[in-house]
C-alpha cells in the first residue's frame, strides 16, 4: 500500500476522533432519560446512594420498596462514578457519562492491541478504531449512564490476554485474563460471552497451526473459561438470594427472568426477530441495513477470511443466545456489535494488505462504511441526543415540593421504572404493571408491611393506572393522603399528604 493511502487512513481517524468528541458533547447536560431511561436511572440511582454512604456489595436501588437492595450486576462502574463524583465534586449525571466514555476509549485501545495479536500492521488497525469511533451504536451509548463500556473494556482485555497467551505462553497473561474475565462476568456476563466465544475460536486456530499441544495447557484454559463462569455464577446466586428478600424483586431473580433473558426457541427463528436484526441492529451499528452487502468483498480476501468468519460467529452467537434481550433493548447490541465492526474491518484490512487494485477497493469500502455510519448517526441518534426528551420535569418539581427527603413515593403506571425516584431524590415503591393492580394482593400487602416504619409522602398515578379508581381510592386511604390531586398533566396525577 502506498504512502498516500496510509496517510489517508490516519487522516480519516483524526477527523473521526475530532468529530466523535464534538458530537458527544451534544445533550451533555440533558437528563439521562433520552433513551432507555429505565436502565440509565437504575444504574444512576445506585451511584447516587453510594455517594450518600450506601453499601457496596449489597448496594441500594430504592425503587421496589424495602429492603432496598436488588442487585443485578456487580457495581464496579457505579462505585467508580460515585467515588469520582464525590471526590471531585462533579454532577453525578455528567460524571457517569464521562466515566462511560473513558472506558469506551480504553476499550478502543484494547481493540488496537487485539489486532496486534492478529498480526495486523499499526496503520491498518486504525480502520477498526475508526469504525468504533463513528458507529452510531457506540457513539450514542458510550456517553450514557450505563455499564456497557465498562463491560466492553474488560471483555477486550480478556480477549487480548487469551490471544497473547496463545502466542507467548506468558503466565502474566493467564493472571490478567483470569482477572479481567472474572470482572467482565461480574459486571455484565452477557457482554463477556461473545468475547469468550471469539477467544475460544482464535485459540483453537492457533493450536491448529501446531504452535503448541493443547493438553499441556489445561490449567490456563481452565482459568480463562472456568474462572469467569464461576465468578458470574457465585454473584448471580448471591444476588438472587438478596432479591428474594424483597416481595417485588423476588420476581426478578435469574430463574424468573430465564425466558426474558434467553427468549424462546421459536423466537430465535421467527421472522420478526430477524427483521429486528436487519432493520434495527445492523443500521444501529453501521448506519444502513444495506452495508452488509460489502461483505461480498470477502471473495477477494486472501489471509483473513477465517478471522472474519470468527467475528461473525461471535456476533451472531450472542444474538442467538440472548435473543429476547437483543430484540427488546437496542443497547444490548453494544456487547456483540463490536464483532460485526471487526468483521468489516478485517475485510477492509485484508484488501488493503494486497498490493494491487484490491487495496483501492478496500479503501473505497472503508470510506463507504464510515460515510454510512456518520449519516446513520445523524438520521437515527443525533435528533434524540440533541432534544431533551424527558416529560416529567414539572411532576418531579412538585414531588420534591410536597415531600421531605426522608419520605417515600408510591408510583403506579411506570412499570418499576426508577426515573421518578431518581430525579425526585426520594426512595420509592414503583409497582410493576405485570403484578395485580390492587392494594390487597399478597405482594403489595407484604411490601406495605415492610414500609410500616416509613412515611409515604406522595402517590403518583400514571398512564393507564389513572383509570383504576378503586386502586387510587384504596391507596389514598391506605397511606392517608389527600383525595384531591395537587398536580396533574396528560400523563400523571400527584396526590400528597393531608
Encode pLDDT of 160-174 as tens digits: 999 999 888 888 999
* Residue 118, burial from CB neighbour count under 10 angstroms (0-12, 13-18, 19+): middle
pLDDT at 335 over 60: yes
Residue entry with cell 457517569: 96
Q: Which residues pair with 411 in a beta bridge?
A: 430, 460
The stretch 460-464 carries a mean pLDDT of 92
Residue entry with cell 457519562: 97
Q: What is the band of 263 on the pLDDT scale with cuts at 50, 70, 90?
A: very high
> Quick one: cell of 374?
456518520
Adjacency order of strands within the sheet including 456-462: 428-430, 408-412, 456-462, 492-496, 487-488
**Interatomic CA distance for residues 446 and 65, integer angstroms:** 10
Question: H helices then E strands: how many in the chain?
Answer: 23, 5
Domain coordinates of the chain in residue numbers? Answer: 3-23+80-385, 393-496
pLDDT at 400 over 70: yes
The stretch 195-201 carries a mean pLDDT of 96
**What pLDDT score does 370 carry?**
97
Q: Please, what is the average pLDDT of the chain? A: 94
Q: What is the band of 453 on the pLDDT scale with cuts at 50, 70, 90?
A: confident
**What pLDDT score does 219 carry?**
72
The stretch 283-312 carries a mean pLDDT of 94
Q: What is the band of 119 on the pLDDT scale with cuts at 50, 70, 90?
A: very high
Percent of the chain clearing pLDDT 70 (strictly above) = 97
Residue closest to 247 by CA, chosen among 479, 15, 403, 435: 435
Radius of gyration of the CA atoms of the chain, in A: 25
**CB neighbourhood size of 38 (10 A):** 15
Residue closest to 413 by CA, chosen among 356, 489, 336, 318: 489
**Interatomic CA distance for residues 341 and 100, integer angstroms:** 20
Single pTM value for the model: 0.95
Amino acid at each position: 500500500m502506498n504512502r498516500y493511502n496510509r496517510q489517508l487512513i490516519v487522516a480519516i481517524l483524526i477527523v473521526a476522533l475530532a468529530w466523535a468528541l464534538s458530537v458527544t458533547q451534544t445533550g451533555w447536560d440533558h437528563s439521562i432519560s433520552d433513551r432507555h431511561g429505565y436502565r440509565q436511572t437504575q444504574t444512576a440511582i445506585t451511584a447516587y446512594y453510594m455517594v450518600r454512604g450506601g453499601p457496596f456489595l449489597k448496594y441500594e436501588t430504592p425503587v421496589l420498596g424495602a429492603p432496598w437492595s436488588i442487585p443485578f450486576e456487580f457495581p464496579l462502574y457505579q462505585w467508580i462514578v460515585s467515588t469520582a463524583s464525590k471526590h471531585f465534586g462533579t454532577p453525578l449525571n455528567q460524571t457517569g457519562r464521562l466515566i462511560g466514555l473513558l472506558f469506551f476509549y480504553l476499550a478502543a485501545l484494547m481493540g488496537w492491541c487485539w489486532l496486534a495479536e492478529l498480526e495486523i500492521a499499526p496503520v491498518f488497525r486504525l480502520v477498526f478504531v475508526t469504525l468504533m469511533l463513528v458507529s452510531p451504536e457506540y457513539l450514542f451509548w458510550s456517553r450514557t449512564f450505563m455499564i456497557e463500556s465498562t463491560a466492553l473494556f474488560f471483555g477486550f482485555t480478556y480477549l487480548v490476554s487469551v490471544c497473547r497467551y496463545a502466542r507467548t505462553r506468558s503466565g502474566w497473561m493467564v493472571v490478567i485474563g483470569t482477572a479481567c474475565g472474572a470482572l467482565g462476568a461480574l459486571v455484565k456476563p452477557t457482554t463477556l460471552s461473545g468475547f469468550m466465544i471469539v477467544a475460544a475460536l482464535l485459540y483453537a486456530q492457533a493450536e491448529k497451526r501446531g504452535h503448541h499441544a493443547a493438553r499441556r495447557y489445561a490449567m490456563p484454559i481452565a482459568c480463562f473459561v472456568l474462572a469467569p463462569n464461576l465468578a458470574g455464577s457465585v454473584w448471580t446466586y448471591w444476588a438472587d438470594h438478596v432479591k428474594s428478600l424483597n416481595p417485588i424483586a423476588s420476581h426478578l431473580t435469574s430463574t424468573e427472568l430465564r425466558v426474558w433473558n434467553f427468549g424462546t426457541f421459536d423466537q430465535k427463528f421467527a421472522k420478526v426477530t430477524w427483521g429486528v436484526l436487519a432493520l434495527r441492529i445492523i443500521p444501529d451499528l453501521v448506519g444502513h441495513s444495506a452495508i452488509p452487502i460489502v461483505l461480498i468483498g470477502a471473495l477477494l480476501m486472501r489471509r483473513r477470511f477465517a478471522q472474519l468468519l470468527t467475528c461473525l460467529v461471535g456476533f451472531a452467537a450472542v444474538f442467538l443466545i440472548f435473543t429476547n434481550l437483543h430484540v427488546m433493548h437496542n443497547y444490548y447490541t453494544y456487547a456483540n456489535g463490536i464483532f460485526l465492526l471487526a468483521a468489516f474491518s478485517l475485510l477492509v484490512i485484508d484488501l488493503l494488505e494486497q498490493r494491487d487494485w484490491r487495496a483501492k477497493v478496500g479503501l473505497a469500502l472503508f470510506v463507504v462504511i464510515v460515510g454510512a455510519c456518520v449519516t446513520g448517526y445523524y438520521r437515527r441518534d443525533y435528533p434524540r441526543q440533541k432534544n431533551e426528551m424527558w416529560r416529567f420535569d414539572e411532576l418531579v418539581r412538585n414531588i420534591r415540593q410536597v415531600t421531605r427527603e426522608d419520605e417515600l413515593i408510591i408510583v403506579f403506571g411506570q412499570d418499576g421504572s426508577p426515573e421518578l425516584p431518581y430525579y425526585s431524590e426520594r426512595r420509592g415503591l414503583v409497582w410493576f404493571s405485570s403484578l395485580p393492580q390492587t392494594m390487597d394482593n399478597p405482594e403489595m400487602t407484604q411490601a406495605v408491611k415492610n414500609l410500616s416504619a416509613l412515611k409515604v409522602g406522595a402517590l403518583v398515578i400514571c398512564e393507564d393506572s389513572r383509570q383504576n379508581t378503586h386502586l387510587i381510592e384504596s391507596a389514598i386511604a391506605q397511606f392517608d393522603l389527600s383525595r384531591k390531586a395537587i398536580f396533574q398533566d396528560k400523563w400523571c396525577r400527584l396526590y400528597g399528604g393531608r
